[in-house]
Amino acid sequence: MRAFFVLLQKEFLQIRRNRFLPRLIVAFPILVMLILPMVMTMDVRHVRVAVVNLDRSSTSQRLISHLGATSYFTPAGITSQYDEALQQLERGDADVILQIPREFERDWMAGSPGRIQITANGVNATKGSLAMQYLTQSVARTLGEIRSEQNPAPIPELITVQNRFNPTLDYRHYMIPALIIMLFILICGFLPALSIVGEKERGTIEQINVTPVGRLTFTLSKLIPYWLIGLFVLTVAMAVARLVYGLAPAGSVGAVYLGAMLFILTISGFSLTVANFSQTMQQTMFVMFFFIIIFMLMSGLLTPIASMPEWAQRITLVLPPRYFVEILRSVYLKGTTIIELGTSYAALGLFALLFNVLAAATYQKRQ
């Protein structure tokens, strides 16, 4: 035990004496949580709309004025020539073309209106698709308002929309748990591995190899500081999410910390396993980046797992972040309990045991 505490003290001293690392541990989660939720969004705003107004009626003018009254659209000019608007689309000066046909108001009042044509730039498929949906909804809403003004008889609501767990459909509430997981992967995944490989490159690990310090003792002395750092990062990230974005866990905070502890154990054990097979910083960085990209793209952090091909969904079953994503989003947004998420906690516990045993077993101890 004395050797263990001496090694543990050594790790904390190395972290404290490093001029860059303590600042990174504090500043990195704060900056990530302050900046990325504002820029990482699937909400499409300021769509540039070029209008081809062939009708020039009060109805068409009202349709155009409503587009400029919302942050979702930015008028990119009004013309009577479709070819001119198409050139704007090709140059990238417009994202969508709205063409109002001739005599639209007269025919609409008569009950046989011409079709309003919407043409979108499909280079960015997501933006183009959402822009068309937004524009279609805006036109339909404006025409509905005009119709209700002309016919004041109340129309019964046939559809009631209710958004559960995220009533405002704020995309940041969906992304903030994912950003917390990314922080764990980057800090608790990279730092333990770089610590081991750094000692290999400096040659100090050879001095430990000739001591009677056991594999498990050495592995724990490397992992425990980064477990504590991970919990500190979680606390900072949750505080920023609460103070800046008003997002607090709908469920138990203890459920969040329990899942975080299991995931930190998993990702740090995995990083030490990678470091045990690496001899240089470059090897470690390339291998870790390879797995981190897979973790981020295939674990449901950025895209839903249900949208992936069936073979890819099977692969996600062996990716630890998949289970922590489910835990964090369910507890944060739904208030799900530990018992209800028992399968995900159990999976993370198995991964934590597997990778930490593997880290201790693969450490090359030479007596």
pLDDT in tens, 127-164: 788 888 888 888 888 888 887 777 665 555 555 666 77
Name residue 75's beta-bridge partners.
49
Whether CATH 3.40.1710.10 fits 47-150: yes
- Sheet with 73-79, side-by-side order of all strands: 73-79, 47-53, 96-100, 117-120
208: number of Cβ within 10 Å: 16
SS (H, E, C) 23-42: HHHHHHHHHHHHHHHHHCCC
Q: Which residue has the tokens 């240089």?
A: 280
Is the predicted pLDDT of residue 209 greater than 70, yes or no? no
How distant is the alpha carbon of residue 360 from its chain centre?
Answer: 32
Name residue 120's beta-bridge partners.
96
- Nearest of 59, 98, 60 to residue 82 by alpha carbon: 98
- pTM of the prediction? 0.80
Is the predicted pLDDT of residue 203 greater than 80, yes or no? no
Write down the mean pLDDT value for the chain.
85
Burial of 245 per CB tally in 10 Å (0-12, 13-18, 19+): middle
Question: What pLDDT, on the 0 to 100 scale, is given for residue 204?
Answer: 73
- Gyration radius of the chain over CA positions: 28
Token output for 26 = 């504090």
Question: Taking the domains of the chain in order of start, what are their residue ranges?
Answer: 2-40+167-362, 47-150
